[in-house]
Chain A
Amino acid sequence: DAEITQSPRHKITETGRQVTLACHQTWNHNNMFWYRQDLGHGLRLIHYSYGVQDTNKGEVSDGYSVSRSNTEDLPLTLESAASSQTSVYFCASSESWEGGNEQFFGPGTRLTVL
């Protein structure tokens, strides 16, 4: 069965360190997304990609970067982790950006920045 996985599932790091969260999907979807979810807020879009070599900034992209070298993976890098980046991070993918194509979500990564 096709799926979307994230690793690690939990991560504790220190302020100032570089952190990379992995996202891998076997749906063969062109579109991939990174969100963060914080209490009291809806999911907020960090970065997204519509295909290989395509990346775009979302609503809350400062301090984050992504790269898309193949269809399956979209790693998210925190260049210099800050306490404000403590959150749950979800990766998602969808077949198309049009109409009613649902997004499929990974299980999430809980990141704590001390």
Chain B
Amino acid sequence: GQNIDQPTEMTATEGAIVQINCTYQTSGFNGLFWYQQHAGEAPTFLSYNVLDGLEEKGRFSSFLSRSKGYSYLLLKELQMKDSASYLCAVMDSNYQLIWGAGTKLIIKP
């Protein structure tokens, strides 16, 4: 079967750095997405990786290793507004998105 694993919850301090991991086992791979979802709101796109390596976008970076079935989202200089759930999703061989359950990130002052 297809599986996406992420930690359920993480806590970090304002101004610090946090890394959210995602491991996947899917039938085929056509890219990995990270989305942010604030409580009670819709998911919004953060990043897309299809090749191995690091993609940097401001305070957020996303890394992919296809051989290891592994990705992480790195958030730097954490702000209170970063408190949200972070969703990892893999596009499989049928170009369907398979979603992880999400990681709830709690930021403390």
Contacts and interface: CB of A to CB of B under 8 A. Distances in A.
| A, B co-complexed | yes
Interface of A: 40-45, 48, 58, 90, 97-100, 102-108
B43 A99 contact: no
Interface of B: 4, 30-31, 33, 41-45, 48, 50, 87, 89, 95-102
B67 to A, nearest CB: 20
A107 B95 CA distance: 23
B95 A42 contact: no
A40 B41 CA distance: 17
Nearest to B6: A42
8 smallest CB-CB distances across A and B, nearest first, come from: A42-B99, A105-B42, A102-B45, A100-B48, A43-B99, A97-B95, A42-B101, A42-B100
Given A42-B87, A43-B87, A105 B96 contact: no
Main secondary structure of the interface of A (DSSP, over half): loop
Contacts of B100: 42
Contacts of A107: 41-42
A40 B96 CA distance: 20
A44 B87 CA distance: 13
A43 B37 CA distance: 12
Given A42-B87, A43-B43, A100 B31 contact: yes
Contacts of B41: 107-108
Contacts of A90: 42-43
Given A43-B97, A97-B95, A108-B42, 5 more contacts: A42-B100, A48-B96, A99-B50, A105-B42, A107-B42
Contact of A42 (B31, B44, B98): B98
A38 to B, nearest CB: 9
Nearest to A101: B48
Nearest to A48: B96
